[in-house]
Amino acid sequence: MTGAAVDRTGRPREVDGAFRLSLLAIAVNWVVWVLGAFVVHPTGFDEMRQEAGRQDALMQLALSAGAVLVISGVWLFCLLRMRAGRNWARIVMAAIAAFSVLFLLNSLSMNGFDRLTGTWLIHDVLLSDLPADLLFAAATALLFLPSSNAYFAAARGA
């Protein structure tokens, strides 16, 4: 890791930056979920309650929160392993980020951009996976910079 900016832990700043960006992405994902479920009108909970009734809406909300919790937990586990120098975690994160970008592009191609209104911006962009996906993509890019590559190669050799 010669010439790379390294902090006092021996990790390149890019790896720690990717870690922080990914933590931010997890937090953004939760904020978007809470806003979509409870705050921004029409809320997801209100729509589910009208369709299926209060009890089924609560169960669906609990299942949805559970899914977000499991995904966040798996992502956090991979983040901690990546930060410790495990190359497999970096590869898993890159694969997940690639699939997220592909799903995002597919969604954009199916929905199109012909509805450029303020409501479209809030509902289809800010309250979608886009902010978290962009943060994850940026974090993943940091993990494949030369100093990060050297860090993971050194950890593999140790």
pLDDT at 1: 46
Mean per-residue pLDDT, 18-35:
92
Q: Is the pLDDT of residue 22 over 90?
A: yes
Lowest mean pLDDT among 6-15, 18-27, 81-90: 6-15
In the chain, pLDDT over 70 holds for what percent of residues? 78
**What string of DSSP letters covers the chain?**
-TTS-B-TTS-BHHHHHHHHHHHHHHHHHHHHHHIIIIISSSPHHHHHHHHH-HHHHHHHHHHHHHHHHHHHHHHHHHHHHHHTT-HHHHHHHHHHHHHHHHHHHHHHHHH-S---SHHHIIIIIITSSHHHHHHHHHHHHHTTSHHHHHHHHHHHH-
Lowest mean pLDDT among 3-17, 28-42, 139-153: 3-17
Question: Residue 100: pLDDT band by 50, 70, 90 thresholds?
Answer: confident
Mean pLDDT of the chain: 82
Q: Is the pLDDT of residue 60 over 60?
A: yes
